[in-house]
Each structure stands twice: as structure tokens, then as C-alpha cells.
Structure 1
Amino acid sequence: MKQIDEYVNSVYANLDGTEAEELKEEMRAHLLQAAQELMAEGKTEEEAVKIAVERFGDERMIRGQVAEYFQIPRMFAVNVLRAAIVFATLGILLGCLFAYNEYQLTGEREHVKQQALEVLSIGPEISEESKRELVKIAAAAPQIKSLEISLANTNPADADLIYQEPFKHVMYWNAAMGEAVSDGIWDVRISYEHYQLGWINSIMVCLVIYWVLFAIWAIMQAYRTRKLRIFWIVAISLFNIPAYLVYRARH
């Protein structure tokens, strides 16, 4: 019946997807059944269709309700995807900043060690002036928390120079790490404050949030096809984008 088809198509205008098609067919079947029952009561086809449509409800009101039904989950899905992209981008940016920061700090530590060896190159003894120079070198690098100088192959406890700055450990954020270098005469050991743990934790938090949000979005999109199975929910949750692309390719 053409009038019923026009009514249903008008209600579901601009809506697509498996779910919309199923609801359209359900509405069409309901209207056809109502019209056939009215025709069985003696109404003409035109009268039966008109009454069935009128009983179903005002076209604009029904269209608004249907649009709202689809709009809310769509907007939610869009916002979830946007949030996932934001956290993924933030994680990548933090990763780039971490790599750049690590490059800068590594260069600074190497510079401190090389400067210390240059000062020590005068011989197997450290003058008071050399000690002051070494302390000055270490103090100029904020990340350096301690500097120890001792003759090569001797007990580190018998260090000729020990410079130390206070270090405050913050759980899950920073840590004290050490490096050493030797020229065969002197051993130079430094400890420094490293924020690798904080950087990595921040990056991981961003990427985990992205992973969860994208999985939610992908599962919502897959659910709209009415062919979602537990297998695909698990696959998308574990493998994220690749699993979703495979699902889309197969459905």
C-alpha cells in the first residue's frame, strides 16, 4: 500500500542502518495489519489506510520521537569517539615530549660526566679548587642529586669527593637513578632525579582511557548491525581498531 510506505519512509527519513530498517519493517507490518483488519470490517482500502495511519499517530510527532530515539545514542557515541581521539592524541603528545625530554636530560648528564673528567685529567689527586669546580658543575645541573669521585678500582666508600643534594621521592612519579664513567684513573658516579615513571604512567593512563573509550564506541557501532556476538565484543576489547576493522569488513 503506497500511502503506508510513504508514511513509514517519511517517519524514518534521513535514518539508516540495520536497526532503522528493522523498525521501519515493523511499523509497516503493523500498519498493514491494521489496514487489513479494517478492510475486513468493510472499509475501502483508502479508508482503511487513512484510519490506520491516523490511529498510529501524527506523522511529525512520530518522526520527532523516532529521531530522538536514534539521536541520543548517536550523540553519545560521537562524544565517546571524540574523547577517545583526545586521549589518544594526548598520549602520543606526552610520548613525544617524554622522548624529547629524555634526549635533553641524557645530553646534560653526559656533559656533566665529561666536564668532571676534564677537571680530573690534571692527575691522580684532587685539589680544593678542583673540588669546588666539580661541585659547581654538579650544582649547575638540576637533575643531578649526587656526584662521587674516587680513584679507579678503589672502594666507592673511600670517595675523594661526595656532593649530594636532597632528593624527595614521590611514589609513581619519580625515582633516583645512577650512572658512572671512568677514564682509567678516576671513577665518576652520578645519581639523578628521573621522572620516567611519571611520564610512563601518564602516557599509559591516556592510552588505557583511549582504549576503553574506543572499544565502547566500536561495540556500539557493531551493535547497530544486530550481528554483534560475544566473540566480537571480546575481540574489539582486546585488539581495538584491528578487530573493529575486521568486523566491519565481514559485516
Structure 2
Amino acid sequence: MKKIDAFVDDVYQGVGGNKEEIQELKLEMKNHLLEAVYELKLEGKSEKEAIKIAIERFGGEKEMRSVIGQLFKAQKIFAKWVLNLAVICLITTVTVFGVIWAMEEQNSHENSIVATNIFDVLEGKETISEDMEEEIKDYIQETDQISKVKIFNVKDVKRESENYSSIFEYVKKAKPNYQYQRAVWAPEWLLVDFFPYGNGDSEWYVDMETRHFSSFMTLVLFVGVAVYATLFTIWATVNAYHHKRLNIGWILAFALLNVIGYLIYFLVGKRKLGI
């Protein structure tokens, strides 16, 4: 059966991939050919004729080499595509999360500056004039995240303090000495939140309502990491399958430990090979 061995070797000549997997596939092909030869010989064919017919039924050397080459190429392309997609997803997630985080930090710093500027305008004043209102309004309009500002005279707060447990309760129910409100960009699909930002001194209490993307930022992080982890697990599982080492333990390691799990898998493989 040297002709069958030669045929199988020629078919897999130059095929890239895992050596162990290729050897198993070669053995499987050889067994199929031997079975076909045995059946043909039972039909009365000579061994030479049986081998020739069996090989022809398999498609011939050139056709089989092309099919097998395309198969291994498709496997490599799929694995590479999944890994690239996982990396792109991770980079995109980290980038979007980082940009939103930086923007939130910048807005927080800007809110503090606006509050300080408003207190500078109010300092030493008992009432809020029209000029002061315009100046405060200008400070708010210089931002794109402050949607509302309320200003309370602390003397009024002290006067009414016996009716409220805290200044925060007073702010919720009392009429402000000055209020300015405007619409800011807040599309629903970005899961925008509006949180209060309050500060005060011995004369005035300033309460601002500011826009935040914290919910969207959290969603981006969790969804992005989940998609990345899933794609990475698929890639690692496909690789383990090609190396004939796939089992439930490695799948769990890839899913739970991600890169660390694959590193352990890689090191264990090297140790088994004695590298």
C-alpha cells in the first residue's frame, strides 16, 4: 500500500497547520482509502486497480490538495478574524470609556470653577441684581453640561431652618432667590443622568444640576468587556480544538481567566512537548 501512503503524503505536502492535527487527518484519510480498496478487492478488482479507483473516487491528488489547503486556510482566517475583532472591541471599549471618563473629570472641574465664579459674584451682596443675574447666566452658558442653577440666601435658610431637617430638604421645597434653567444636549440613547451639585458659604447656597454620562460609561465598559471576553474565548477554544487539547477545563480557564488562562494553556503545552 505504498502508493496510498505516497498519495496521502502528496496531498498534505506543504499544508500549514498543527502537525499533530495533520498527522491525525492523514491517518484518517489513509484508513478511508484502505477501506475502499478492501471493498473493491471483494468485488473482484486487483489491488492495483482497487488503489487506482479508490484514489480517483477521493478526487485525485490535485483536487484533494486544493480542498485541504482551502480548509486549513479558512480555519486560520476565521481564528485570526475572531482574535482581531476581539482586540478591536477591547481597544474601542477602553478608548470610549477613557474619553467619557476624561470628559466627566473635565466637567467636574469646570463645575467647581463655575461655582467659585458665582460665589465671587455673590460675595458681600444681600440681593441679586439684574447685572449679577446676567453675569451668572453667562458663566452657565459657557458650559455645555449645567442645565439648571438655583441660588438661595442663607439668611432665609436659617430663618426657616426649624421647619426643615437639612439645607438639602429646604432646597428641594423652597423658592430660590434666583433660578436659571436651559436645555442641554442629552439624547436618550446615551442614558444621560442629571445630578445635583451644591455648595454654600455663610451668605449663599448655590445648587446646580449637571449632566453626566456615568450610566452610559458603565454600560460601554461592561458590554465591551463582555463581547471581548466572549470573542477571545471563542478564539482560544478554536485554537485548543486544532491542537487536539480541547476540554471543559480549558474552556472554563479561557472564559474565566482570559489571557492568563490562555497563557497557562500555552505553558502547559510547551511543558508537554518538552520545550
Q: CA deviation at 1:212?
A: 1.3
Q: Quick one: distance in 2 between partners of 1:97 and 1:217?
A: 28
Q: Quick one: distance in 2 between partners of 1:52 and 1:198?
A: 66
C-alpha spacing 1:30/1:218, structure 2 compared with 1 (3 Å):
same
Q: How does 1:225-240 map to 2 (within 5 A)?
A: 225-240=243-258
Asked if the contact 1:19/1:225 (under 8 Å) is kept, the reply is yes
CA deviations 1:216-235 (Å, max 9, x no partner) are 11111111122211222223
CA deviations 1:5-63 (Å, max 9, x no partner) are 44323211223313222011233455567789999x9x7xxx85x96266323211111
- In structure 1, the residue matched to 2:68 is 66
Structure 1 portions without partners, runs of 5+: none
Asked if the contact 1:31/1:53 (under 8 Å) is kept, the reply is no
Q: Does 1:55 align with 2:54?
A: yes
C-alpha spacing 1:9/1:123, structure 2 compared with 1 (3 Å):
same
Identity of aligned residues (%): 27
Query: Secondary structure at the residue paired with 1:184?
Result: coil
- In structure 2, the residue matched to 1:22 is 24
- Equivalences, count: 247
Asked if the contact 2:192/2:216 (under 8 Å) is kept, the reply is yes
- In structure 2, the residue matched to 1:10 is 10
Asked if the contact 1:83/1:213 (under 8 Å) is kept, the reply is yes
Q: Quick one: distance in 2 between partners of 1:98 and 1:139?
A: 21
Asked if the contact 2:97/2:220 (under 8 Å) is kept, the reply is no
Q: How does 1:159-174 map to 2 (within 5 A)?
A: 159-166=176-183, 170=188, 173-174=191-192
Q: CA deviation at 1:113?
A: 0.6
Q: Does 1:207 align with 2:206?
A: no
Instruction: Give the TM-score, by structure 1 length.
Output: 0.83
Q: Quick one: distance in 2 between partners of 1:122 and 1:56?
A: 101
Query: Secondary structure at the residue paired with 1:145?
Result: strand
Which residue of 209, 219, 236 corresponds with 2:237?
219
Structure 2 portions without partners, runs of 5+: 158-169, 270-275
Q: Quick one: distance in 2 between partners of 1:248 and 1:142?
A: 50
Q: Quick one: distance in 1 between partners of 2:52 and 2:8?
A: 10
Asked if the contact 1:169/1:175 (under 8 Å) is kept, the reply is no
C-alpha spacing 1:123/1:70, structure 2 compared with 1 (3 Å):
same
Q: How does 1:89-238 map to 2 (within 5 A)?
A: 89-152=91-154, 154=157, 155-156=170-171, 157-166=174-183, 170=188, 173-238=191-256
- In structure 1, the residue matched to 2:164 is none
Q: Quick one: distance in 1 between partners of 2:3 and 2:51?
A: 11
C-alpha spacing 1:135/1:37, structure 2 compared with 1 (3 Å):
closer
Asked if the contact 1:173/1:199 (under 8 Å) is kept, the reply is no
C-alpha spacing 1:71/1:53, structure 2 compared with 1 (3 Å):
farther
Asked if the contact 1:120/1:126 (under 8 Å) is kept, the reply is yes
Q: Quick one: distance in 1 between partners of 2:87 and 2:127?
A: 59
- Which residue identity is paired with 1:11? V
Q: CA deviation at 1:123?
A: 2.9
Query: Secondary structure at the residue paired with 2:245?
Result: coil
- Which residue identity is paired with 1:160? N
Query: Secondary structure at the residue paired with 1:112?
Result: helix
C-alpha spacing 1:22/1:166, structure 2 compared with 1 (3 Å):
same
Q: Quick one: distance in 2 between partners of 1:215 and 1:54?
A: 44
Asked if the contact 1:172/1:201 (under 8 Å) is kept, the reply is no
State which drifts further: 66-75 or 89-98.
66-75
CA deviations 1:184-222 (Å, max 9, x no partner) are 322111111112222332343332222211111111111
C-alpha spacing 1:248/1:119, structure 2 compared with 1 (3 Å):
same
- Which residue identity is paired with 1:136? D
State which drifts further: 195-204 or 87-96.
195-204
Q: Quick one: distance in 2 between partners of 1:63 and 1:53?
A: 17
Instruction: Give the TM-score, by structure 2 length.
Output: 0.77
Q: CA deviation at 1:169?
A: 6.9
- Which residue identity is paired with 2:103? N
Query: Alignment RMSD, CA only?
Result: 3.0
